[in-house]
Amino acid sequence: MFHVADSLVQAAATCLIESDPARKVECTREVAARWRRGELAASTPGPWQPHETPGRPSRPQLVPARALPKRKLTTAQGRASLIHAVAHIEFNAINLAWDAVQRFTEMPDTFRQDWTQVAIEEAEHFALLRERLQTLGYDYGDLPAHDGLWDMARRTAGDALERMALVPRVLEARGLDVTPGMIERLRTVGDDETADRLGVILRDEVGHVAVGNRWYRHLCQDRGLDPSSTFTDLIKRHLHGEIRCPLNREARLEAGFAASEIDALEDLCRGG
């Protein structure tokens, strides 16, 4: 049982700073259940100072992305390496969702409600992948990983609009682009079990990117900003205008991207 106080913001912080992966999942499930039962107020009653650093286990070792070995899915070790990489993303995604809840307290209560739902789904994704890793003789932390997702969280900590633009709409949306190919390759080598789990994750991630799209547009409207040009400016400022292609147009449209936005991203891929 976790002491998660009486507000969703405080409860989110409790889960965010929990370092043990299993306990982080347990905390997330408990907070989500309490929220659904109406036991938590959406906001804190007084001033709130957000936590800056998420709880993490001592492993995995974090290395630059370029230092990670290439994975051969024809081997069990290669498949475990892929699963571990995605599990690491999902672990970070739990922290990202809870951080949004406890950090951007100026946002409406429905913002916290949306990101609480994302947090519980990300926790279930992590649990699915960790269980699969364990059946292959590995565990989360056994292999190195990189810190790109949380690095962007640090860089966007001061502005909800930048966070919504660059984490759900860029980094998490990249999962919509690459996961179908992962699923296809896994099925080719006969690993339907892992492919099925990634299929569940892909389905839910469309909804998570949609949450980011919705709140990004809400913030642009509040500030009188054009969503398209603002997004391009942020990509140029934070990512040097670099976007990786190909893009999964169908999934991105389902997640709330406009066709014109996808066209503009593809132009950036071509150096336009």
**DSSP calls for 149-191:** HHHHHHHTTT-HHHHHHHIIIIIIHHHHHHHHHHHHHHHHTT-
- Enter the tokens of residue 101: 């809840």
CB 238 within 8 A of CB 152: yes
pLDDT averaged over every residue in the chain: 93
Calpha distance 130→80 (Å, rounded): 10
Helix (H, G, I), strand (E, B) or coil at 145: strand
**pLDDT tens by residue, 160-201:** 999 999 999 999 999 999 999 999 999 999 999 999 999 999
Q: Residue 85: how many CB atoms within 10 A of its CB?
A: 19
On whether residue 79 sits in a domain, the answer given is yes
CB 170 within 8 A of CB 239: yes
Calpha distance 117→28 (Å, rounded): 10
Spatial neighbors of 25 by CB under 8 A, at least 6 apart, are: 94, 123, 124, 126, 127
The mean pLDDT of 10-15, rounded to a whole number, is: 96
Helix (H, G, I), strand (E, B) or coil at 23: helix
- Measured at the CA of 89, the angle between CA 88 and CA 90, to 5 degrees, comes to 90
On whether residue 41 sits in a domain, the answer given is no
The mean pLDDT of 112-122, rounded to a whole number, is: 98
- Enter the tokens of residue 74: 């024809």
On whether residue 18 sits in a domain, the answer given is no
Dihedral of CA 91/93/98/104: which sign? positive
On whether residue 140 sits in a domain, the answer given is yes
Kindly state the DSSP code that residue 60 receives in the 8-state scheme.
S
On whether residue 15 sits in a domain, the answer given is no
**pLDDT tens by residue, 218-258:** 999 999 999 999 999 999 999 988 889 999 999 999 999 99
Percent of the chain with pLDDT over 70: 98
Under the banding of pLDDT at 50, 70 and 90, the label for residue 70 is confident
Calpha distance 28→120 (Å, rounded): 6
pLDDT of residue 193: 97
| pLDDT of 2 higher than 60 | no
- Number of compact structural domains in the chain: 1
* Model pTM score: 0.95
The CATH number given to whatever domain includes residue 142 is 1.20.1260.10
On whether residue 190 sits in a domain, the answer given is yes
Calpha distance 53→63 (Å, rounded): 18
On whether residue 221 sits in a domain, the answer given is yes
On whether residue 11 sits in a domain, the answer given is no
The residue range of the domain holding 257 is: 72-269
pLDDT of residue 271: 64
Calpha distance 69→143 (Å, rounded): 10
